[in-house]
Amino acid sequence: MSTSMGEKEQYKNRIDLLQGTLDMLILQTLQWGPQHGYGIVQALRLRSGDVLQVETGSLYPALHRLERQGWVQSEWKQSESKQRARYYRITAKGKKQLASDLGRWERIVEAIGSVMYVKPKESES
Amino acid sequence: MKWIPSFGSERRKHELQEEIDAHLQMAIRDRVARGETAEAARQAEMREFGNIALVQEVTRDMWGQSWLEQLGRDLRYALRQLRKSPGFTITSTAMLAVAICANSTVFSWIDGTMLRPIPGARDTSELVSLQRGERNFSPTPPFSYLDYRDLREQNHTFDGILAYHHDWITLTGGAQPERAYIANVSANYFDVLGIRPVLGRFFLPEEETRPDAVPYVVLSYSLWKTRYAGDPAIVGKSIELARHPVTVIGVAPEGFVGAMPGIRQDLWITLNPLGSSVWRITHRGGGAVWLNVVGRLRPGVNIGQATQDLDTLMHHIVTAYPDDHLGDNRITLDPMWRSPFGANGYMAATLPILLAFAAVVLLLTCANVATLTLVRFVARRRELAIRQSLGANRMQLVRQMVLEGVVLSIVAGAAALALTAWTSKTFAWFFPANSNPVIVNGTMDYKVAIGIAVFSLLAGMLCGALPAWRSSHAPAVEILKAESASISSGSRNRRLLSGLVVAQIALSLPLLVCSALFLRTLKNLAGANPGFEQGHILTATVGLNIAGYTGDEEQAIRHKILDRVSALPGVEVASFTDWIPMTLSHKGEDAYPEGYVPHPHEALQVYHAEVGPRYFESLHIPILEGREFTPDDDEKAPRVLIVDQTAARRYWPGQDPLGKKLMVWGRAFTVVGVAKNSTHMLVNETPEPMVYMSFFQVGYETIVQVETAGNPADLATPLENAIHEIDGRLPVFDVRPMRESTQIASSFAVIESALAGMFALIGLVLAVTGIYGVVTYRTQMRTHEIGVRMALGASRVDVLRLVLVQGLWLTGIGLALGLAFALGLTRLIVRLLYGIGANDPVTVVSVVMLLGAMSLAACYLPAHRAMRRNPVTAIREL
């Protein structure tokens, strides 16, 4: 069941890059109500118009980490299709975190935007 | 590799599996709903999901570790590190084990004596022993029966007060007469102590002073087991005590040996079983003062209140019967752990001090192990820095390093536990056989085990925490950058290292000073002149008075013994006595000197001994005035006595004591001689007035004392045979040279010097190896620097000086601090010293010089090596 060390390390690095943003996206998704892992993937894909395809390999580590940090809580429930699944629900702490993540995200977007769209000065004379 | 199973982790793994399964099921169902075949949907989804095992593993990493798992990991890490340096591990563990064992051994002795003063008794902390008059070691029994009874019945602060009188007797009726230690006890004796019989019953109140045709006796458990083979039907049977039939009414529980700490009693009878002690039951003064008294405080009453209560009662008694209570009558109470009756008075004066010494040894060892640990951490600082830069926080590093110390100390504690099981029992070795039934030894029980756990955990913390905290401070980046073994980053470590060396020297100095003082004390005691010659004296106790003879028969047998023994070849002088000096026992009696006006509160008590003709001659005690006893000083002649110088000077200062009279037991004794002072109990005692009475007039116990031409031990068998020729049934005990009997007087000096000496030796070795190790290490660290210095023209002497000066500074500071510490510590032992001051300059100076010289030698070795280095190779060495 164990995987080689190299593969695991490589995989971890990829998560790290995505981590901050993914956390925010998951928390935002849970704002609309408790959801299971598959539901979160589907919701993100729908809302992003099929652009954001979250890999399960990133999703589950992220969910479990969020739970450990106390930003989400989970419980086992029956889905609409009578499937027993683990539903995640955002906590008050998670909502606070989401607000601050969003604030940071907006600042970054703004900063990147101001870099990308700045007009070079016309003349140097 | 998992050592410690983590509970709940299996359930969580299972849940994760289920969660992922649910995800796959839902995804497949959606695909099927979109028109894919079940099989194709499954395969596509599996592909999309990726490596399930990997996902699970990474997800599990997010859970973090429980503290148990972390501890397991840190423990494995610590064990790996310790395995890597077996030299350090073994040395430190051994040193710690010895130091912990030193503590636990002394503690087990305290536990077996002071903390278990009366084995088997209920809640001994409520028990107090009563003393009337002056407090001193091994006082004589302080109360008469009537005084005791008044105190027992009129007090308001005790649940119960018991009384006993301790003596010995022979068990007859068997093949061989056997000596047994017996106590006359009040009826409530067992009740107050909280002892229940294993067989039969104990005494009833109405039996306390009642004589019985066939007296009742209670046996100790061990006597019942050994002499009567544990006979289950012993109760109601008749046995013989000194040829009197007595009836066994009960057996005491296992382990109970009586109310006097450290002294064994084998059987118990009531206060007046034969009716022969009526006088002792109906009088308050003189020879009727014969009882030791122990009380159980009422709950909530403290010793101060109880003392006041009894003092008031005693005052009333003294007012009512002034003639029976001359002298000091104040009541003092002592908890049993330091009761002056029995062994604990001596224990309390010695053992706590030895425990303090052992604690110093443990501190010293911790400093030494901490030094080694610190050096190891400095050597491992790259490893630590790497781990720090990999994200280990400081707390984690410290925790791991402390754990290494704790692992060491736990192993050391386990070793100490095993060692102590044996060393606790060595205490009895210090008490040579003598006529007192001393049974003291250490015990190894849960208290000692807890003690060891506490000692070792403390030690582990001290050894690990300090260096760990220091080492974890080092900035990681700098260490990683520094290519050489430069110790620039270790200036803080260097200070700590120096501090630890100074501490080791400072702690070992007082140990050395104290042990030197104890050794000098022992030498002074051994060399002291006790005032009598004991080298050629053999003594033997004959159980005459307890063998059931009439008074006339006894006297006849005594004369026969004297004739026979005198005729033995090798015997120079034969005599009788009923007391042997310097055996921690003495007899005291109230005495009223004719024409003497006592000071207020003066106790008119004298020591007394009954000695036969030629007693003083055989011991070479000079008779300064008058004469020695003669065979004519017998029962028909007027009562006579010989006083020692102390008695003569106190009662008849500036007068001729000869012909003066002294009232004892209500009879007048005439002084016929003055003997030179000699030692009664201990070499360092304050002399008490001593009166010698004629053995043939008032002798009680019969001890044959002979002066031999050669080795007294050679005459032991002939002497015993000679007595048995007179009557084969005569019990003869304690046949041994006097020098052996008197060893007990210096037992505690031997204990003190033996232990302090051992501790000091350990201290010396630790301090010297400590400074050697640190100077060597530091010199190694400076090899490069020294090479550069030499290349630049420094001479070898310069190098030698460089290294030596460093070591000398440490030694100097250590000695100065140690001296201050020693001067404080020696105050604790002032009372235990003899013939030497606590700050004896010769001792202090020689100890300082010894330690200084050893430290200097320890510094010289590395300095010498550094001096001999080839500068070229030294520079290359980074």
Q: Of B11, B19, B28, which to mutate for an interface test with A (greatest number of A Cβ within 10 Å)? A: B19
Which positions in chain B touch A64 (Cβ < 8 Å)?
Answer: 16, 59, 62-63
CB neighbours of B325 closer than 8 A, spacing ≥ 6? B284, B285, B317, B318
Does residue B433 surpass a pLDDT of 60?
A: yes
Structure confidence at residue B873 (pLDDT): 78
CA separation for the pair B647, B625 (Å, rounded): 13
Collect all residues from B whose CB is shorter than 8 A from any CB in A.
15-16, 18-20, 22-23, 25-27, 29-30, 48-51, 53-59, 61-64
Mapping DSSP to helix (H, G, I), strand (E, B) and coil, where does residue B529 land? coil
Arithmetic mean of pLDDT, B8-16: 78
* Number of Cβ within a 10 Å radius of residue B218: 28
Chain segment B629-655, per-residue pLDDT in tens: 998 998 889 999 999 999 999 999 888
Collect all residues from A whose CB is shorter than 8 A from any CB in B.
1-3, 7-8, 11-12, 15, 36-39, 42, 55-57, 60-61, 64-65, 68, 79, 81, 83-86
Shortest alpha-carbon distance between residue A93 and chain B (Å)? 19
Sign (positive or negative) of CA dihedral B65, B70, B72, B73 = positive
Q: Chain A residue with minimal CA distance to B22?
A: A85
Q: Chain B residue with minimal CA distance to A82?
A: B26
Q: Which residue has the tokens 């207020």?
A: B600
Report whether B467 contacts B496 (CB < 8 A). Answer: yes
Cross-chain residue pair B64–A68, CB shorter than 8 Å: yes
When pLDDT is cut at 50, 70 and 90, the band that residue B479 belongs to is low
Cross-chain residue pair B57–A2, CB shorter than 8 Å: yes
Least confident range from A37-51, B377-391, B732-746, B835-849: namely B377-391
Q: Of B1, B21, B23, which to mutate for an interface test with A (greatest number of A Cβ within 10 Å)? A: B23
Query: Hey, what amino acid is at B417?
Result: L
Q: Chain B residue with minimal CA distance to A8?
A: B54
| Paired strand residues for B640 | B670
Chain segment B397-419, per-residue pLDDT in tens: 788 888 888 888 999 999 999 99
Mapping DSSP to helix (H, G, I), strand (E, B) and coil, where does residue B474 land? coil
Arithmetic mean of pLDDT, B448-469: 85
Helices (H), B620-746: 645-651, 695-698, 716-726, 738-741
Structure confidence at residue B877 (pLDDT): 63
Q: What angle do CA B457, B460, B464 make, to 5 degrees?
A: 145
- How far apart, in Å, are the Cα atoms of B664 and each of A3, B147, B661, B698? 101, 20, 10, 11
Q: Chain B residue with minimal CA distance to A14?
A: B58
Which positions in chain B touch A22 (Cβ < 8 Å)?
Answer: none
Does residue B371 surpass a pLDDT of 80?
A: yes
Sign (positive or negative) of CA dihedral A105, A107, A110, A116 = negative
Structure confidence at residue B635 (pLDDT): 86
Structure confidence at residue B729 (pLDDT): 78
Which positions in chain A touch B11 (Cβ < 8 Å)?
Answer: none
Chain segment B577-609, per-residue pLDDT in tens: 999 999 888 887 778 888 887 776 666 778 899
Structure confidence at residue B548 (pLDDT): 67
Q: What angle do CA B564, B565, B570 make, to 5 degrees?
A: 125
CA separation for the pair B395, A105 (Å, rounded): 33
Q: Which residue has the tokens 């060396």?
A: B501
CATH class of A5-116: mainly alpha
Least confident range from B80-94, B391-405, B504-518, B856-870: namely B391-405
Does residue B701 surpass a pLDDT of 70?
A: yes
- b/e map B25-37, b = 16+ CB within 10 Å: bbbbbebeeeebe
Structure confidence at residue A23 (pLDDT): 86
Structure confidence at residue B389 (pLDDT): 67
Mapping DSSP to helix (H, G, I), strand (E, B) and coil, where does residue B640 land? strand
Report whether B745 contacts B681 (CB < 8 A). Answer: yes
CA separation for the pair B690, A7 (Å, rounded): 97
Mapping DSSP to helix (H, G, I), strand (E, B) and coil, where does residue B570 land? coil
Which tokens hold the place of B743? 């060893």
* Run of H or E including B74: helix B67-84
Is pTM beyond 0.80? Reply is no
Least confident range from A27-31, B203-207, B246-250, B478-482: namely B478-482
- CA A100, chain centre distance (Å): 14
Does residue B799 surpass a pLDDT of 80?
A: yes
Structure confidence at residue B76 (pLDDT): 86
Least confident range from B466-470, B804-808, B819-823: namely B466-470
Cα Rg of chain A (Å, integer): 18
Q: Which residue has the tokens 């544990």?
A: B230
Q: What angle do CA B266, B270, B273 make, to 5 degrees?
A: 110
The shortest CB-CB distance from A37 to any of B15, B23, B53 is to B23
Q: Chain A residue with minimal CA distance to B65?
A: A68
CA separation for the pair B502, B504 (Å, rounded): 5
When pLDDT is cut at 50, 70 and 90, the band that residue B4 belongs to is very low
Mapping DSSP to helix (H, G, I), strand (E, B) and coil, where does residue B842 land? helix
Report whether B75 contacts B67 (CB < 8 A). Answer: no
Which positions in chain B touch A72 (Cβ < 8 Å)?
Answer: none
Shortest alpha-carbon distance between residue B28 and chain A (Å)? 11
Structure confidence at residue A13 (pLDDT): 43
Chain segment A49-101, per-residue pLDDT in tens: 888 888 888 888 888 888 888 899 999 888 777 888 899 999 999 999 899 88
CA separation for the pair B621, B577 (Å, rounded): 14
CA separation for the pair B698, B293 (Å, rounded): 27
Q: Which of B774, B750, B759, B609 is nearest to B683 (CA)?
A: B750
DSSP string of A31-90?
A: HTS-EEHHHHHHHHHHHTTT-----HHHHHHHHHHHHHTTSEEEEEEE-TTS-EEEEEEE
Q: For chain B, what is the total number of helices (H) and then of strands (E)?
A: 27, 22
Please classify residue B365 by burial: count the beta carbons closer than 10 Å to its beta carbon, then call 0-12 exposed, 13-18 middle and 19+ buried.
buried
Report whether B286 contacts B665 (CB < 8 A). Answer: yes
Q: Chain A residue with minimal CA distance to B28?
A: A38
Domain spans in chain A, listed from the N-terminal domain onward: 5-116
- Average pLDDT over chain B, rounded to whole? 87
Cross-chain residue pair B22–A86, CB shorter than 8 Å: yes
Chain segment B36-83, per-residue pLDDT in tens: 888 888 888 888 777 788 888 777 777 766 667 777 878 888 888 888
CA separation for the pair B516, B851 (Å, rounded): 13
Does residue B110 surpass a pLDDT of 90?
A: yes
Chain segment B304-359, per-residue pLDDT in tens: 999 999 999 999 999 999 888 877 788 999 999 999 998 898 899 899 999 999 99
Chain segment B128-184, per-residue pLDDT in tens: 999 987 776 667 788 999 999 999 999 999 999 999 998 888 888 877 778 889 999
Cross-chain residue pair A56–B20, CB shorter than 8 Å: yes
CA separation for the pair B636, B632 (Å, rounded): 9
CA separation for the pair B70, B372 (Å, rounded): 26
Structure confidence at residue B488 (pLDDT): 42
Structure confidence at residue B547 (pLDDT): 63
Does residue B481 surpass a pLDDT of 70?
A: no
- Provide the terminal-to-terminal Cα distance of chain B, rounded to the nearest Å: 39
% of chain B beyond a pLDDT of 70: 94
Cross-chain residue pair B53–A3, CB shorter than 8 Å: yes
Structure confidence at residue A2 (pLDDT): 39
Query: Hey, what amino acid is at B199?
Result: L
CB neighbours of B27 closer than 8 A, spacing ≥ 6? A38, B41, B45, B48, B49
Length of chain B: 878
Arithmetic mean of pLDDT, B228-252: 92
DSSP string of B21-69?
A: HHHHHHHHHHHHHTT--HHHHHHHHHHHH--HHHHHHHHHHTT---HHH
Cross-chain residue pair B57–A3, CB shorter than 8 Å: yes
Cross-chain residue pair B50–A61, CB shorter than 8 Å: no
Cross-chain residue pair A85–B26, CB shorter than 8 Å: yes
Which tokens hold the place of B84? 């890597």
Report whether B141 contacts B165 (CB < 8 A). Answer: yes
The shortest CB-CB distance from B54 to any of A3, A64, A68 is to A3
Does residue A3 surpass a pLDDT of 50?
A: no
Q: Of A38, A59, A79, A80, which to mutate for an interface test with B (greatest number of B Cβ within 10 Å)? A: A38
Does residue B573 surpass a pLDDT of 70?
A: yes
Chain segment B277-314, per-residue pLDDT in tens: 788 888 887 678 889 999 999 999 999 999 999 999 99
The shortest CB-CB distance from A57 to any of B22, B50, B64 is to B50
% of chain A beyond a pLDDT of 90: 20
